[in-house]
Amino acid sequence: MNVILTARMTEKKRDEADAGIGAAPDGRAAGDDARPATPRPHRSPVRRFLRWAGLASVISGAIFFAGFLYFADLVTSLATPTEIKADAIVVLTGGSQRLNQALDLLSRGAGERLLISGVHRATTPGQIRRMTQSPNSIFRCCVDIGYEAKDTIGNAAEAVDWIRAHGYRRVLVVTNNYHMPRSLIELRRADPETDFIPYPVVNSNLKTRNWFADPQTLRVMLSEYLKILATGIRGMTGIAGARDDVARREPTKQG
Q: Which H, E and C letters describe 113-181, residue by residue? A: CEEEECCCCCCCHHHHHHHHCCCHHHHHHHEEECCCCCCHHHHHHHHHHHHHHHCCCEEEEEEECCCHH
Whether pLDDT at 184 is above 50: yes
User: Which structural domain range is residue 98 located in?
Assistant: 81-201+239-247
What average pLDDT does range 79-89 have in this prediction?
Answer: 88
Residue 63 lies in a domain: no
Alpha helix locations (H) across the chain?
A: 2-19, 45-77, 96-107, 125-132, 136-142, 152-166, 180-190, 215-237, 239-247
Say whether pLDDT at 237 is over 90: no
Domain CATH for 108? 3.40.50.620
- Give percent of the chain with pLDDT exceeding 90: 43
Task: Indicate whether 39 belongs to any domain.
Answer: no
Kindly state whether residue 46 falls inside one of the protein's structural domains. no
Confidence of residue 235 (pLDDT cuts 50, 70, 90): confident
Residue 249 has pLDDT above 60, yes or no: no
For residue 19, being part of any structural domain is answered with: no
102 within domain boundaries:
yes
In this structure, is residue 118 part of a structural domain?
yes
Position 140 in a domain: yes
| Model confidence pTM above 0.85 | no
Is the pLDDT confidence value at 22 over 50?
Answer: no
Whether 227 shows a pLDDT value over 80: the answer reads yes
**Domain count within the chain:** 1
The pLDDT assigned to 189 comes to 94
Residues listed for the chain: 255
- 142-151: pLDDT as tens digits: 999 999 999 9
